[in-house]
Each structure stands twice: as C-alpha cells, then as structure tokens.
C-alpha cells in the first residue's frame, strides 16, 4: 500500500502542469523594422496598452467562453530579429490588463533590420505552439507599414505553414508613419495584406491612416479578435 502511494506521488510530481485554458491565444506581432523610429515604437506600444485596458475590450474578454485570453506582444524586423516585449500573459480582468499594459511600456526596442514578414509569422507560430497554454482559438495579429520581405522565408510559404497549424492571421495595415507626415505602405497596402498575409476562419484586415484611426483600429481589432464574431467576408476595412 505504501509503495502504491509513493508511486502515485512520484508520478504526480513528474507529470507536467495542466495547461491553462483560455478562449484565445493572441500574438500581437508589431512592426519594428527600419521604417519605424523610436518615437513610433513607443506610440505603437502606447496604442496597444490603451486598447488592452479599454472597457470595451475588457468587456469582450469577460464575455468569452472562459472569461480570459492569453496575449504576448512581439516586435518583428529582420529575418533573425523578433523580440518578445511582454511574454505570454493571461488577461482576465482590469488588474491583469493593467499589468500587461505597464509591462509593455518598459523594455527597450526589441527588433532591428529590414522587413522579414515570413520570419515574423513563423516566430509567432512557434510562440503559440511552444507555450503551456491551451487556447480554444489561436490568432496572430500582424501589423506593418509595408508588404516587403527582404530576408528569410517567402511570405506565402510561411503563411501556408501557419494556416496549416490551425492559426488565423489578421492584419493591421498602417498607411502612415503614425502621422509623421511620411508616406506609409501606400493606399493599396490593405489589399496586398488581404491577398498575401491574412488567412484562416474570419480573417480580416483593419487599416489606420492617421493618429486617431490607429488608436481606434487597434481597439476595434482586439474586440473583433477576442469576440470571435468577425463576419465571414475575407477582409473587413475599418477606416
């Protein structure tokens, strides 16, 4: 009897911890390539920090099946440059959202180099597959101001690999350099992202073409991703 109890105890200690159930695993994959300067990095992070703590976003989280989501914020740039700014965090209310927002504003810039979108998508895929969280839905939230891919795997091949793993890709097309007066990826960036990057059930593109629309686009995009109620059309433009 003692041996049986001891064996059960040893097996229990050796077993891996149970996965954390959440409604959504969400990688916020933010552009930190050469076209984005330090002020714009901070502006981008601030937009996500404000969005994740917005009452409408918190309400969307509360109304999910599990009442919680898991989020990580990653900056992407060159083929070998993707940096986790905030690691996987379970957000289940105002306190955990505030902690995520605070952590987002602290670290230095985490990625450098010319655009490597394919590498960024595959890095986000690995973060989803290698965590200890069990999310009902898995989404990569990609943002960028250009469709260029100067290194790493082709976008199409990376996209296909992500979609084959059951992960949806949504996108935020940034049509200005955060209102700095410099041109962004061009008026057709939304259409290019729709064609080349997004995919999976209910995938969509949101666009931002000035400071106000950027903040609103991030908030609306998070609500759509968290609620999972995006229309079935291939793309949703939010100007």
Domains of the chain: 20-227 (3.40.50.410)
The CB density around residue 194, as the number of other CB atoms within 10 Å, is: 20
Task: Return the structure tokens found at 21.
Answer: 């159930």
pTM recorded for the entire structure:
0.86
Q: Are 239 and 172 in contact (CB under 8 A)?
A: no
Confidence at residue 12, expressed as pLDDT on a 0 to 100 scale: 41
Q: Are 97 and 226 in contact (CB under 8 A)?
A: no
Quick one: tokens of 10? Answer: 């040893």
Q: Any residues with CB less than 8 A from the CB of 51 and at least 6 apart, and which? A: 57, 215, 218, 219, 222
Q: How far apart are CA 110 and CA 126, in angstroms?
A: 17
b/e per residue 90-112 (b: at least 16 CB within 10 A): ebbeeebbeebbeebeeeebbbe
Which is it for the CA torsion 121, 235, 194, 40, positive or negative?
A: negative
Query: What whole-number distance in Å separates Cα of residue 155 and Cα of residue 167?
Result: 15
Each residue's pLDDT expressed in tens, for the chain with a length of 239 residues: 444 434 443 344 333 334 579 999 999 999 999 888 898 999 999 999 999 999 999 999 999 999 999 999 999 999 999 999 999 999 999 999 999 999 999 999 999 999 999 999 999 999 999 999 999 999 999 999 999 999 999 999 999 999 999 999 999 998 865 443 344 455 689 999 999 999 999 999 999 887 777 888 999 999 999 998 754 444 444 33
**Number of CB atoms found within 10 A of residue 40's CB:** 19
Two tokens, residue 63: 């109304």
As a 3-state breakdown, the chain gives helix, strand, coil percent values, each rounded to 5, of: 40, 25, 35
């Amino acid at each position: 009897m003692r041996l049986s109890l001891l064996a059960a105890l040893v097996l229990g200690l050796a077993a891996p911890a149970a996965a954390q159930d959440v409604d959504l695993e969400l990688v916020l994959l933010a552009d930190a390539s050469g076209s984005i300067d330090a002020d714009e990095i901070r502006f981008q992070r601030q937009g996500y920090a404000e969005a994740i703590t917005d009452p409408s976003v918190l309400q969307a989280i509360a109304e999910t099946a599990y009442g919680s989501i898991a989020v990580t914020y990653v900056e992407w740039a060159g083929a070998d440059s993707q940096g986790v700014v905030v690691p996987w965090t379970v957000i289940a209310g105002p306190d955990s959202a505030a902690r995520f927002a605070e952590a987002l504003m602290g670290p230095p810039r985490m990625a450098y180099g010319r655009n490597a979108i394919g590498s960024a998508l595959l890095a986000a895929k690995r973060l989803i597959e290698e965590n200890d969280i069990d999310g009902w839905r898995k989404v990569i939230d990609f943002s960028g101001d250009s469709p260029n891919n100067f290194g790493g795997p082709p976008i199409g091949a990376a996209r296909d690999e992500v979609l084959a793993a059951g992960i949806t890709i949504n996108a935020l097309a940034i049509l200005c350099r955060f209102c700095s007066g410099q041109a962004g990826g061009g008026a057709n960036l939304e259409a290019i992202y729709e064609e080349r990057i997004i995919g999976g059930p209910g995938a969509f593109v949101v666009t931002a073409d000035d400071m106000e629309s950027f903040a609103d686009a991030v908030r609306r995009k998070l609500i759509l991703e968290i609620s999972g109620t995006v229309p079935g059309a291939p793309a949703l433009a939010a100007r």
